[in-house]
């Protein structure tokens, strides 16, 4: 159906439009709008707990925010959404993250 | 109310000061530079409490005020010509995100060759984006239009960025007497900005303009279209309200009518040279020609209703253009023809490109030729635009 517009009540229509606008223009974060993206993974990062110096660099670099880390604590990976890009393994200064083939 | 002698650029800076702008970004380009220089002095002296940010390019200048407006601030920047073209990508983001930013474009031709003088090509590249576009024709109007731009742009019914175009040098560097309302009465009329349609702040997680379905792209354009249609009301209303409140004159909304309604011949143009055009129209009226000028004040939203009304009783319409769409017609000529249809013959003259001086005598001859052509029935040539270039030795056919 074709749409035409000629303002009848600019005040009212303006306020209505503003509500629709914020819905269309803004997107709020929510888990997994593309499903659990962890299933895309070919390689899986594994943290070698003995080597980890708890610096948090992996947490800082993870592009998907799937690594949780608290100051001076051990990081942990959310495998539901980790796509296995390997950036964390690459930036780890002590090689404490290894990438293993999924399913092994 | 104070009366001062100001150049166009200084008058714009004064309007920015009175509007209480909070963030200003600056990248110099002639003939706009004086605006941001004056604002820098105002910030330095403490007359304007704004963050003044020097950026590395015009793209960043607009990107930064985009961010500032997204954070709820009243933001301003200014540019010209190539600077505006360098902003082009961000112009779409600002309008698409519906952030009320005010930007001055001091018009200047686009190279090659490098030129400093005015035509309308730079400002009219913004035509299709969703910016409100005003063209001032005097220093007073540059001041009034800038101040009103904040009010119109931030109105809940609108929420679109606004651009005020003023002619390089003929307005930007020309001193005229300007009446300015005082700071207190302006701040009552223009209170601090309401952070709409959204405000980015700590603790609120959301993304603006994230990847979305194709339908959302179309719906956002539809919403901007609706807002632009509503802005017609707001522009007319603001023009009247401002005049009444500050005891200044109303310009007539989207257009200024100088004897146009009811005249046999209507000339349509916009920008500073309308002053000279008025002089030519007055002279021709003195000689008995029933001719009037309809000056376009706002190019977006385009005043098609006003044009239709005026052309109802006209025999012929002449559009004098300062920008051309190569491959078709003058840009204003195209717009006017599409607004009034083919009920009235329209002649399109292209003049003053690159700032070529076009004075009252030129306009007198352009308008008189147009009337004579119509009266002698020789209008076949009107199907294509005519380039007014007297130095080439071809003044009339």
Give the domain ranges of chain B. 2-246, 255-392
Task: Say whether pLDDT at A35 is over 80.
Answer: no
Domains identified in chain A, total number: 1
**B308-329 mean pLDDT:** 97
Q: Is residue B365 exposed (0-12), middle (13-18) or buried (19+ Cβ within 10 Å)?
A: middle
Task: Say whether pLDDT at B397 is over 70.
Answer: no
Query: How much is the pLDDT for B210?
Result: 87
Q: Confidence band (pLDDT; 50, 70, 90) for A1? A: confident
Q: Confidence band (pLDDT; 50, 70, 90) for A53? A: very high
Query: How much is the pLDDT for A103?
Result: 80
Do you know the residue count of chain A?
A: 104
Lowest mean pLDDT among B31-40, B79-88, B134-143, B337-346: B337-346
- May I ask the CATH class of domain B255-392? alpha beta
Query: How much is the pLDDT for B212?
Result: 80
Whether B209 sits inside 8 A of A15 (CB atoms) is no
- Asked if B371 contacts B280 with a C-beta cutoff of 8 angstroms, the reply is no
Model confidence over A6-32: pLDDT tens digits?
999 999 999 999 999 988 999 887 766
Question: Is A65 part of a structural domain of the chain?
Answer: yes
Q: Which residues of A touch B155 (CB under 8 A)?
A: 14
Which of the residues B230, B301, B305 would you substitute to probe the A interface, choosing the one with the greatest number of A C-beta atoms within 10 Å? B230
Cβ within 8 Å of residue B29, ≥6 positions away: B58, B79, B80, B81, B82, B83, B108
Place of tokens 């399913």: A103
How close, in Å, is residue B305 to chain A by CA atoms?
A: 12
Q: Which residues of B touch A18 (CB under 8 A)?
A: 156, 159, 196-197
Q: Which residues of B touch A21 (CB under 8 A)?
A: 98, 159, 197, 220, 223
How close, in Å, is residue B198 to chain A by CA atoms?
A: 7
Q: Which residues of B touch A14 (CB under 8 A)?
A: 155-159, 227, 230
Query: How much is the pLDDT for B2?
Result: 92
Place of tokens 């020609």: B289
Nearest to B220 by CA among B155, B163, B159, B152: B159
Q: Cα(B336)–Cα(B341) distance, rounded to whole angstroms?
A: 8
B2-246 maps to which CATH number? Answer: 3.40.50.970
Question: Is A8 part of a structural domain of the chain?
Answer: no
Query: How much is the pLDDT for B333?
Result: 97
- The closest CB to that of B229, out of A6, A18, A24, belongs to A6
Question: Is A22 part of a structural domain of the chain?
Answer: no
Query: How much is the pLDDT for A27?
Result: 86
Whether B233 sits inside 8 A of A7 (CB atoms) is yes
Mean confidence (pLDDT) of chain B: 96
Whether A21 sits inside 8 A of B155 (CB atoms) is no
pTM for this model (two decimals): 0.89
**B328-339 mean pLDDT:** 97
Task: Say whether pLDDT at B51 is over 70.
Answer: yes
Query: How much is the pLDDT for A29?
Result: 74
Cβ within 8 Å of residue B276, ≥6 positions away: B358, B359, B360, B362, B363
Q: Which of helix, strand or coil describes residue B79?
A: strand
**A39-51 mean pLDDT:** 95
Residues of A with CB under 8 A from a CB of B: 3, 5-7, 10-11, 13-15, 17-18, 20-22, 24-29
| Residue that wins the pLDDT comparison between A37 and B20 | B20
Query: How much is the pLDDT for A33?
Result: 63
**B65-89 mean pLDDT:** 98
Mean confidence (pLDDT) of chain A: 92
Question: Is A5 part of a structural domain of the chain?
Answer: no
Question: Is A33 part of a structural domain of the chain?
Answer: no
Chain centroid to Cα B33, Å, comes to 18
Q: What is the CATH number of the domain that holds A57?
A: 3.30.70.20
Query: How much is the pLDDT for A32?
Result: 62
Q: Does B154 touch chain A (CB under 8 A)?
A: no
HEC states along chain A?
CCCCCCCCCHHHHHHHHHHHHHHHHEECCCCCCCCCHHHHCCEEEEECCCCCCCCCHHHHHCCCCCEECCCCCCCEECCCCCCCCCHHHHHCCCCCEEEEECCC
How close, in Å, is residue B298 to chain A by CA atoms?
A: 19
Place of tokens 């146009």: B260
Beta-ladder partners of B163: B103, B133
Judge if B2-246 and B255-392 fold alike in CATH terms: yes
Q: Confidence band (pLDDT; 50, 70, 90) for B394? A: low
> Which segments of chain B does DSSP mark as H helices, in order?
8-18, 33-44, 58-70, 81-86, 88-96, 121-124, 139-154, 183-189, 214-246, 274-286, 304-312, 331-340, 360-375
Place of tokens 């919403």: B223
How close, in Å, is residue B376 to chain A by CA atoms?
A: 41
First-last CA distance in chain A: 55
Q: Whole domain around residue A52: which residue ranges?
A: 38-101
Percent of chain B, pLDDT > 90? 95
């Amino acid at each position: 159906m074709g749409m035409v517009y000629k303002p009848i009540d600019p005040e009212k229509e303006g306020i209505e439009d503003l509500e629709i606008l914020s819905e269309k223009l803004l997107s709020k974060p929510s888990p997994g709008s593309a499903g659990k993206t962890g299933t895309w993974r070919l390689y899986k990062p594994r943290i070698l707990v003995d080597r980890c110096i708890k610096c948090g660099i992996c947490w800082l670099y993870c592009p998907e925010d799937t690594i949780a880390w608290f100051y001076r604590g051990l990081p942990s990976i959310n495998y539901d959404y980790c796509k296995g890009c390997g950036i964390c393994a690459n930036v780890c200064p002590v090689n404490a993250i290894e990438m293993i083939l999924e399913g092994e | 109310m104070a009366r001062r002698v100001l150049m166009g650029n200084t008058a714009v800076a004064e309007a920015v000061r009175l509007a209480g702008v909070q963030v200003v970004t600056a990248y110099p380009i002639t003939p706009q530079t004086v605006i941001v220089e004056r604002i820098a002095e105002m910030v330095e002296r403490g007359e304007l409490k704004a963050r003044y940010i020097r950026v590395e390019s015009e793209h960043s200048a607009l990107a930064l005020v985009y961010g500032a407006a997204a954070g709820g601030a009243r933001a301003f920047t200014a540019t010209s010509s190539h600077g505006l073209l360098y902003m082009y990508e961000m112009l779409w983001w600002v309008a698409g995100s519906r952030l009320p930013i005010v930007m001055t474009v001091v018009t200047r031709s686009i190279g090659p060759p490098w030129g400093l003088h005015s035509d309308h090509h730079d400002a009219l590249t913004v035509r299709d984006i969703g910016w409100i576009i005003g063209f001032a024709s005097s220093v007073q109007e540059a001041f009034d239009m800038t101040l009103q731009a904040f009010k119109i742009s931030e109105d809940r019914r609108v929420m679109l960025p606004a651009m005020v175009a003023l002619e390089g040098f003929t307005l930007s560097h020309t001193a005229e007497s300007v009446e300015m309302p005082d700071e207190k009465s302006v701040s009552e009329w223009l209170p601090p900005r309401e952070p709409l349609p959204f405000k980015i702040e700590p603790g609120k997680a959301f993304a603006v303009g994230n990847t979305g379905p194709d339908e959302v792209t179309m719906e956002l354009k539809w919403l901007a279209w609706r807002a632009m249609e509503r802005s017609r009301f707001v522009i007319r209303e603001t023009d009247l309200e401002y005049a009444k409140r500050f005891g200044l004159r109303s310009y007539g909304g989207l257009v200024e009518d100088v004897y146009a309604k009811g005249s046999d011949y209507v000339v349509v143009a916009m920008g500073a040279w309308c002053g000279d055009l008025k002089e030519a129209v007055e002279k021709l009226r003195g000689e008995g020609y029933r001719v009037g000028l309809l000056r376009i004040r706002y190019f977006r939203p385009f005043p098609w209703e006003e044009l239709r009304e005026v052309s109802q009783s006209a025999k012929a319409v002449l559009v004098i253009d300062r920008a051309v769409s190569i491959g078709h017609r003058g840009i204003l000529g195209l717009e006017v023809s599409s607004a009034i249809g083919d009920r009235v013959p329209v002649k399109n003259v292209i003049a003053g490109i690159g700032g070529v001086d076009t004075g009252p005598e030129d306009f007198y001859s352009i308008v008189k030729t147009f009337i004579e052509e119509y009266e002698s029935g020789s209008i076949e040539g009107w199907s294509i635009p005519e380039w007014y270039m007297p130095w080439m030795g071809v003044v009339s056919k």
